[in-house]
Structure 1
Amino acid sequence: MLRLYLQTTCLQGRYSLQSNLHRQILSKLKCMGIYQNQYYRRFSNDTKEEEQLEQIYYGPLTPQIKAVKIFSLTSSVAGLMAQPIIVKQAATIGSTSLLVVICSMVGFFTFITPLLLHFITKKYVTEMCYDPKTCTYKATTINFFLAEKELEFTCDDVSVPEIPGMFTTFHAKGKPLFVEARHFNNPLYYAKLMGYDKPMDFKLGEIEDSDNNQK
């Protein structure tokens, strides 16, 4: 009887342990399933948002611009690091005019060149995407430190200047951008941005008003 009692108690203890382990495993599996479902949903939402955007333009000079800016920034950093040594070596010569010339040359290639290069390339659009659901455009440019900047706008935010400035095709939300028409996947996107689909205004009213004023 004692043996039977011990066997039954051991079996009950094992069964209770197994049931507790089974419950814990099931609860962990449920939590993992919930996390997996949430992850899959977030991942699917991100992929859907990326699939919604259609790339309509790519700037062909993007690799060259990045390479030139990298070279310019590295040369500027090297110039800053070497400037104390150059000034010290130039001071040993004893000529003030030579020291001024050396410092001005080093300062030009260290500071002026990267700023001038950024002024020229900051308007260049490296990539442009279009969202057909919201009818919005997303233009990507490069800032001074080679980081990508995105600008979202619509056709209503675009203004084409009568006299385009240097490296400027149109303004989007007041920011000048430069694109090349031949590198659009579909010329209709360029025509829509430039307002070629809108009725043309020949400004005949202004000519008539000027003639009346002359009379």
Structure 2
Amino acid sequence: MGVYNLARAVRGVKMFSYGSSMVSLCLMPHMLISTNLAHQSLAMQAFFITPILLHVITEDYVVRLSHDTETDTYTAVTSDVFLMEKKTVFHQRQMGLLVNPDLFLLPRDYKHLIGYDQPFS
């Protein structure tokens, strides 16, 4: 059994959420005409809040990560609100991303990223 990368699941959930929001956006004029309560419905609000909430939660999830040993920098690939890949170059001290430790081929790279290779003070 291999390592499970959440990147595919995160992308799938975002696509489903965007799709359901688009369908509800297309149906909203009909619903507004049919009923006066559509704009107060919790379900209608959830259709539009869910994609925003999903993006806020998963915007820092790293899909791929590479380490440049010469400059001691990392390049993280995340997805933006439009599900396009976004690259971020950062140093170990600047880490603020959600990284899956099981995706590292070399455990020493993860230990270096987290700072476990530094003396404890």
Cα pair 1:72 1:113 within 8 Å, conserved? yes
> Could you list the per-position Cα deviations for residues 152-208 of structure 1 after superposition, in whole angstroms to 9, with x for gaps in the alignment?
0122x33xxxxxxxxxxxxx2xxx21112222100101111111111101xxxxxxx
Q: Is 1:120–2:57 an aligned residue pair?
A: yes
Residue 79 of structure 1: CA displacement? 1.1
CA-CA distance at 1:123 after TM superposition: 1.7
Give, as a single letter, the amino acid of the residue that structure 2 aligns with 1:118: H
Please list, as runs of the form range in 1=range in 2, the aligned pairs for 1:172-187 lying within 5 A after superposition.
172=95, 176-187=96-107
CA-atom RMSD, angstroms? Answer: 2.0
Q: Number of paired residues?
A: 119
SS at match of 1:177: coil
State which structure, 1 or 2, has the greater radius of gyration over its C-alpha atoms: 1
Choose the corresponding residue for 2:86, options 145, 149, 153. 149
1:72 and 1:130 map into 2 onto residues whose CA distance is 33
Cα displacement (A) at 1:147: 1.3
2:43 alignment counterpart: 105
Map Cα deviations across residues 43-82 of structure 1 (whole Å, 9 max, x no partner).
Answer: xxxxxxxxxxxxxxx9701111111111111111111111
Match of 2:76 in 1: 139
Q: TM-score, normalised by structure 2?
A: 0.86
Shift of 1:135: 2.4
Q: Which runs of 5+ in 2 are unaligned?
A: none
Match of 1:90 in 2: 35
Q: Distance in 2 between matches of 1:181 and 1:137?
A: 14
Partner amino acid, structure 1, of 2:119: P
Distance (whole Å) between structure 2 residues aligned to residue 118 and residue 74 of structure 1:
14
Q: Give 1:189's aligned residue.
A: 109
User: Post-superposition shift, 1:148?
Assistant: 1.3
CA drift at 1:102? 5.8
